[in-house]
């Protein structure tokens, strides 16, 4: 009986470690020939973005599920190939320590983990309010139009999209920090204007009643005060 119990415990630990090691949530990076590829996966949403130190190249993403070494993505936006919006793709992956090996279109790419997706602001957020002329105005985006922002442990990406019309309106992202009521973004890519790369934006930020309030200056220097809610 003691021997059987020991075997059971060992099997449980092995299984638990295997399951834990296969968690793909967080941020991953692959660097090659001056190009970065960043994968973000948090709360059922996935993005993949390519850029150089000076130029945005390509981004796509969508609603995702992950199970048993396979990730399935229902594509909601694609900056380069709008025809792919609405399609579903799936990739096999394997995680060994902090390395993610994923098979993408018959190519095997190995990514390094940047973070595990855990942080107070980590999640998928949807903008629902913005101050205009001194008053907070609700943002009611018609139809399937939406502006989302995905944050992992230390990376962020926003994107304005319409999955129904397959329209991609823009995206930007990079690294962020959030401490003592201060939220700071360091822009590493910006599809609308590559000249914004390298800018650092600082905001006052706080979470109240599951909503994220932040105020400061945009990359253009305009005053902003926005309210975001977690996407359900």
pTM summary value: 0.86
Q: How confident is the model at residue 46 (pLDDT cuts 50, 70, 90)?
A: very high
Residue 105: per-residue pLDDT: 79
Domain 123-230 annotated CATH 2.60.40.10? no
Q: Which residue(s) pair with 151 in the sheet?
A: 123, 156
Tokens of 197: 């790369």
pLDDT band for 198, please (50, 70, 90 cuts). very high
The closest of 112, 19, 28 to 66, measured between CA atoms, is 19
Positions of CATH 2.40.128.280 in the chain: 23-115
Q: Where in the chain is the domain with CATH 2.40.128.490?
A: 123-230
pLDDT tens profile 98-132: 999 998 878 899 999 999 999 999 999 998 888 88
pLDDT of 223 reads 87
Fold that domain 23-115 belongs to in CATH: Lipocalin (2.40.128)
């Amino acid at each position: 009986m003691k021997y059987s119990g020991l075997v059971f415990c060992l099997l449980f630990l092995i299984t638990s470690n295997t399951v834990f090691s296969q968690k793909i949530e967080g941020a991953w990076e692959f660097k090659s020939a001056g190009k970065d590829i960043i994968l973000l996966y948090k709360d059922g949403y996935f993005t993949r973005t390519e850029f150089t130190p000076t130029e945005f190249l390509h981004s796509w993403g969508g609603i995702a599920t992950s199970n048993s070494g396979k990730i399935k993505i229902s594509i909601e936006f694609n900056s380069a190939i709008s025809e792919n919006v609405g399609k579903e793709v799936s990739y096999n992956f394997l995680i060994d320590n902090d390395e993610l090996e994923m098979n993408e279109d018959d190519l095997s790419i190995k990514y390094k983990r940047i973070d595990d997706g855990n942080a107070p602001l980590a999640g998928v957020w949807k903008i629902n309010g913005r101050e205009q002329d001194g008053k907070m105005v609700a943002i009611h985006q018609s139809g399937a139009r939406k502006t989302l922002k995905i944050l992992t442990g230390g990376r962020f990406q926003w994107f304005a999209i319409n999955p129904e019309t397959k329209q991609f309106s823009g995206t930007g992202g990079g690294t962020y920090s959030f401490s003592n009521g201060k939220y700071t973004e360091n822009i590493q890519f910006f599809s609308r204007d590559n000249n914004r790369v390298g800018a650092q934006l600082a905001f006052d930020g706080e979470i109240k009643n599951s909503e994220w309030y932040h105020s400061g200056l945009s990359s253009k220097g305009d005053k902003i005060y926005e309210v975001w809610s977690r996407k359900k």
